[in-house]
Amino acid sequence: MRVTIFGATGLLGQPLMHVWDHDEVHGFGSKQADIRDPRQIAEAIGSTPPDWIVLAAAYTDVDGCETNRELAEAVNTGGATNVAEAAKQSGARLLFVSTDYVFDGTKGTPYETDDPRAPRSAYGRSKAQAEVRIAEILPDSCIVRTSWLFGVSGRCFPDTILKLAASRASIDVVDDQHGSPTYAPDLALAISQLCRRQARGIVHATNRGACTWFEFARQVVAAAELPTVVRPTTSDKFVRPAERPKYSVLSPKSLEAYKVVLPTWQDGLARYMQERKSAK
Ligand SMILES: NC(=O)c1ccc[n+]([C@@H]2O[C@H](COP(=O)([O-])OP(=O)(O)OC[C@H]3O[C@@H](n4cnc5c(N)ncnc54)[C@H](OP(=O)(O)O)[C@@H]3O)[C@@H](O)[C@H]2O)c1
């Protein structure tokens, strides 16, 4: 199989470069191919079309998107639309990585793939619009929504918590947002399996289980055997530019339909801690 990855330098993109066996894989970061420019996309794809294009490139700074809305739209909607057009022209299948932030977080039970999109942030809106455009351009594309990514290949929540915990006796973390932490290498593997199984439509892919950011932080600190006390707080005491969904757990049914099962987030966290240790 030939695979082209946009966003190959990111938190997800780096492990995504290493999960394919016997496949020809080409990866691009923003410096090699800016997805806002159709010519750069065409050059990256080249004259021999790939079987799959995996689009993991995005402007992912959720608070930054709130103040740089034009950039959010240009990269996350415009760039994604350009890649979908290029995939259509070249005859490649497209897998687009999307987010739990397309939901408003009011449901209270795991979101199914056909629940209505109702994003509450500029980032969520830019990704939701991309989903709609991609499905119009390429009805057989695969849209993989994920959540709360972490890994050694980029900035992530456990890394922030470990750095804070190293210098503080206590840290306050919000306990009123629920989601599923997802270890980037686990998602990368699931994406490669979905491509191999010719997946189409919307698929929800996260590590199994759910927690709040507070519970996640507590597990991170415990795993590192640090004495720091993690205390629960609420979102109204920790106001940020972008509103986050209060509950964005994604149902695994659509993933299981392709016989792909991800480990629990606690299992992913244990492997992250190990990988972090050996990277030092
Ligand atoms: N992180 C999360 O918690 C999370 C949760 C749900 C969904 N997602 C989705 O998962 C995907 C991967 O996220 P991530 O956390 O791996 O992101 P990331 O670490 O921020 O990496 C973003 C990637 O996109 C590339 N990129 C940014 N702007 C670009 C542009 N204009 N043209 C081409 N490439 C561009 C970056 O390239 P350079 O580094 O070379 O600039 C980098 O490779 C994204 O679609 C994101 O929306 C992420």
pLDDT at 47: 79
Type of residue found at 161 = I
Q: Whose CA is nearest to atom 2 of ligand 1?
A: 149
Note if the pTM is more than 0.95.
yes
What domains appear along the chain, each with residue ranges and CATH number? Answer: 2-155+182-208+248-262 (3.40.50.720)
268 CB near ligand 1 (under 6 Å) = no
194 CB near ligand 1 (under 6 Å) = no
Q: Tokens 């600190």: give the residue.
A: 221
173 CB near ligand 1 (under 6 Å) = no
Q: Determine the distance separating the centroid of ligand 1 and the alpha carbon of 245, expressed in angstroms.
A: 20
Beta strand pairing call for 178-179 and 211-212: antiparallel
Strand partners, 4: 26, 53
Neighbours of 168 (CB within 10 A): 12
| Catalytic hit among 101, 111, 123, 183 | 123
34 CB near ligand 1 (under 6 Å) = yes
Of ligand 1's listed atoms, the one at least distance from the Cα of 182 is 3
Q: Determine the distance separating the centroid of ligand 1 and the alpha carbon of 57, expressed in angstroms.
A: 4
123 carries an active-site annotation = yes
Q: Determine the distance separating the centroid of ligand 1 and the alpha carbon of 58, expressed in angstroms.
A: 4
175 CB near ligand 1 (under 6 Å) = no
Residues 199, 142: Cα–Cα separation, whole Å? 6
Three-class DSSP category at 36: coil
Per residue of the chain (280 residues), what is the pLDDT tens digit?
A: 999 999 999 999 999 999 999 999 999 999 999 999 999 999 999 878 899 999 999 999 999 999 999 999 999 999 999 999 999 999 999 999 999 999 999 999 999 999 999 999 999 999 999 999 999 999 999 999 999 999 999 999 999 999 999 999 999 999 999 999 999 999 999 999 999 999 999 999 999 999 999 999 999 999 999 999 999 999 999 889 999 999 999 999 999 999 999 999 999 999 999 999 998 7
pLDDT at 48: 81
35 CB near ligand 1 (under 6 Å) = yes
Q: Determine the distance separating the centroid of ligand 1 and the alpha carbon of 225, expressed in angstroms.
A: 31
DSSP letter for 101, please: G
- From 32, 34, 41, 60, mutation site for ligand 1 pocket: most ligand atoms within 8 A of C-beta: 60
Strand partners, 179: 211
